[in-house]
Amino acid sequence: MTVQENPQALHTAASGLRVLAVDDVPAALDDLCSLLREAPEVGSVTAAGDPLAALKSIRGGEYDAVFLDIAMPGLDGLELGELLRKLASPPVIVFVTAYDEHAVAAFGIGAVDYLLKPVRAERLAETLGRVARMAHADEPSGRPSAEAQVPDARVSNSMAALPVEVGGRTRYVQRGEVRFVEAHGDYVRLHAPSGVHLVRMPISRLEEYWEGAGFVRTHRGFLVALSAVRELRSDSVGGLLAHTDVGDVPVSRRHARQLRQRLLEAAQQGELERPT
């Protein structure tokens, strides 16, 4: 169990981010800490060589952000992330890993970014910009403002395919296949021509990462892909439905005006071709 602190940690400017980096591979931890310490947004860096050391460090001080490896012995990074988000004032969580298959789980527990090793300085700078906006927001850390929640294009791209279990096997459903999304507790149902697929992720979290790709909230429990909407029609009781080739999506009065406006804008931009 190792904890190494930046010698300047106690004398940093108040505006600098207080960052905890966690990785059980010493060389990887050193590389990440070096990149973080070179970043102008970062005021102090603490390094932890395993999850228990990280927990001990968190109990002893406050951090704006925690950069977590995933594959670690004992308590892995995802499990540690789950613990961190239950804190009264949780830090912003960023995962740093060599494996891309955990992205859905990472974003599902509230991570703001998912960095693949080796981390490039330019990519880290983008992440730190988002972390800084969230950490300095008026709301508590880990509960960002609406502006801060909008992910950049790179983060959205990492959610372009979701793994689903089909007959004991894992397959990937491309975002472009999905016509609409239906909330189902802590899960969502992805409705696509290939069928209905269940994914463990709250609909609010998926909305954050898919709204920039043309998905719009139509109802408390539904998102629809603008490109999948063939027409708007009335139901038997006068409600509004967005018709797609795999089913109709209810549209609440609250969301009807926004949906019509987004459909108009998409039509003007030639973005309403029939999905493939």
Give the tens place of pLDDT for each residue, 38-94. 999 999 999 999 988 998 898 877 899 999 999 988 788 888 988 888 888 889 999
Q: How confident is the model at residue 161 (pLDDT cuts 50, 70, 90)?
A: confident
Q: C-alpha angle 224/241/147, rounded to 5°? A: 40
Q: How confident is the model at residue 209 (pLDDT cuts 50, 70, 90)?
A: confident
Query: Could you tell me if 145 and 19 lie in one domain?
Result: yes
Query: Could you tell me if 169 and 238 lie in one domain?
Result: yes
Query: Could you tell me if 172 and 139 lie in one domain?
Result: no
Query: Could you tell me if 191 and 226 lie in one domain?
Result: yes
**What pLDDT does 101 receive?**
75
Asked whether the predicted pLDDT for residue 158 surpasses 90, the reply is no
Tell me the average pLDDT of the chain.
82
**What pLDDT does 256 receive?**
92
Q: Which domain range does residue 167 map to?
A: 160-268
Q: Are 155 and 113 in contact (CB under 8 A)?
A: yes
**What pLDDT does 185 receive?**
85
Contacts of 137 (CB under 8 A, 6+ apart): 144, 145, 148
Task: Indicate whether 192 belongs to any domain.
Answer: yes
Q: How confident is the model at residue 168 (pLDDT cuts 50, 70, 90)?
A: low
Task: Indicate whether 65 belongs to any domain.
Answer: yes
**What pLDDT does 276 receive?**
47
Q: Kindly report which listed range (56-60, 122-126, 136-140, 231-235) carries the lowest average pLDDT score.
A: 136-140
Query: Could you tell me if 134 and 238 lie in one domain?
Result: no
Contacts of 236 (CB under 8 A, 6+ apart): none
Task: Indicate whether 273 belongs to any domain.
Answer: no
Query: Could you tell me if 259 and 143 lie in one domain?
Result: no
Task: Indicate whether 235 belongs to any domain.
Answer: yes
CATH code, domain carrying 212:
2.40.50.1020
**What pLDDT does 31 receive?**
95
Query: Could you tell me if 16 and 55 lie in one domain?
Result: yes
Task: Give 58 or 169, the one with higher predicted confidence.
Answer: 58
Task: Give 254 or 169, the one with higher predicted confidence.
Answer: 254
Based on the structure, what is the number of domains in the chain? Answer: 2
Query: Could you tell me if 134 and 23 lie in one domain?
Result: yes
Query: Could you tell me if 15 and 125 lie in one domain?
Result: yes
SS3 assignment, position 28: helix
Give the tens place of pLDDT for each residue, 259-274. 998 888 888 777 665 5
**What pLDDT does 145 receive?**
40
**What pLDDT does 4 receive?**
52
Query: Could you tell me if 28 and 88 lie in one domain?
Result: yes
Instruction: Compute the average pLDDT of residues 183-203.
Output: 90
Query: Could you tell me if 142 and 90 lie in one domain?
Result: yes
* Residue finishing a domain among 107, 129, 155: 155
Asked, as a colleague might, if the bond just before 144 is cis with ω within 30 of 0, I would say no
Query: Could you tell me if 257 and 184 lie in one domain?
Result: yes
Asked whether the predicted pLDDT for residue 140 surpasses 70, the reply is no
Nearest residue to 239 via CA among 249, 229, 250, 230: 250
